[in-house]
């Protein structure tokens, strides 16, 4: 039997104070997240910082990414080699091609569809444009042209305008579009919608009509053949013209020797007769016209 002094002392199973504190610390969620995520991330960032501190390494890395990107974007399936334009006249299509001046073939990643669409829609003859890239490397442009509604004789040019007053294109002479009504005068392009309403109401006198003239940028004169002119009011010109046409259909007013009919005073239309018609009217009323005829 061994003496008591020879028996080694038993090891205390309780953890040391440092081990106890470390175990308690591991039970903290923030510490666990810091050790599992924060410390590796910090190590990676430190390594990257050391690697990128060299300008030559940064340039090499940037060049590698650029080369990889270019090789991907310049694959044959991403290259655009043809511009197809539908819905436009040959002249307008040629204008669109010259305006865009696309250097094809080029990668579809290098073509800004929104900017290209805005560039096309800025042209006079284009109402709207729809662009998309089709399979086979085709940039498809579907064009809606502006439809000419009137011929405008301005101060310097003769232009075709659509129903909103937007310019479609220039023409050499009014006879190039004799099928369209003529408007003239400064500011006529800004009042095309009102002019079209007047033209629609002037149906019975359309065969005799020469055109509409904008007066003072605020009202219209309707010019007929034989030098006759109808002075329309600033307010409600269509209604005034409709009343005149009804009167003409009842009494053939416009077939008489009338130079002008002033409708600017709604309650008191004023007729301006030709000199010969005025003399005949005076004679019919027994008024001596000998002095006025001299």
Which contiguous run of DSSP H or E holds residue 32? helix 29-33
Q: Between residues 100 and 7, which one has the greater pLDDT?
A: 100
Which CATH number among 3.10.20.310, 3.20.20.70, 3.90.226.10, 2.40.128.20 corresponds to the domain 76-145?
A: 3.10.20.310
Please provide the distance, in angstroms rounded to a whole number, between the alpha carbons at the two ends of the chain: 172
**Domain residue ranges in the chain:** 76-145, 184-288
Mean pLDDT for 92-106 is 89
Q: Which fold has domain 184-288?
A: Rossmann fold (3.40.50)
Distance CA 34, CA 279 (A): 112
Is pLDDT above 80 for 52? Answer: no
Q: Which of 43-57, 222-236, 251-265 has the lowest mean pLDDT?
A: 43-57
Distance CA 92, CA 206 (A): 32
- The pLDDT tens digits of the residues spanning 127-166 come to 999 999 888 888 999 999 999 999 999 888 899 999 999 9
Distance CA 172, CA 68 (A): 55
* pLDDT at residue number 180: 94
């Amino acid at each position: 039997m061994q003496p008591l002094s020879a028996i080694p002392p038993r090891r205390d199973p309780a953890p040391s104070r440092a081990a106890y504190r470390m175990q308690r610390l591991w039970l903290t969620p923030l510490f666990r997240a810091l050790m599992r995520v924060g410390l590796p991330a910090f190590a990676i960032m430190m390594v990257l910082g050391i690697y990128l501190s060299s300008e030559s390494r940064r340039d090499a890395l940037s060049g590698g990414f650029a080369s990889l990107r270019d090789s991907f974007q310049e694959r044959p399936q991403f290259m655009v080699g043809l511009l197809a334009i539908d819905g436009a006249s040959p002249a307008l299509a040629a204008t669109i091609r010259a305006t865009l001046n696309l250097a094809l073939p080029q990668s579809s990643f290098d073509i800004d569809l929104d900017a290209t669409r805005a560039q096309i829609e800025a042209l006079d003859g284009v109402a709207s444009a729809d662009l998309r890239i089709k399979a086979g490397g085709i940039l498809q442009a579907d064009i809606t042209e502006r439809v000419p509604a009137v011929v405008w004789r301005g101060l310097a040019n003769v232009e075709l305008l659509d129903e909103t007053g937007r310019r479609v294109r220039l023409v050499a002479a009014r006879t190039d579009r004799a099928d369209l009504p003529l408007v003239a005068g400064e500011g006529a392009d800004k009042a095309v919608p009102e002019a079209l309403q007047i033209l629609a109401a002037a149906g019975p006198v359309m065969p005799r009509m020469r055109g509409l003239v904008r007066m003072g940028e605020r009202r219209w004169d309707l010019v007929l053949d034989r030098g006759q002119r109808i002075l329309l009011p600033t307010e409600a010109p269509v209604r005034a013209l409709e009343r005149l046409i009804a009167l003409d259909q009842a009494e053939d007013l416009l077939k008489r020797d009338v130079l002008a009919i002033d409708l600017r005073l709604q309650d008191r239309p004023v007729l301006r007769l030709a000199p010969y018609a005025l003399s005949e009217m005076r004679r019919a009323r027994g008024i001596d016209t000998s002095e006025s005829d001299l």
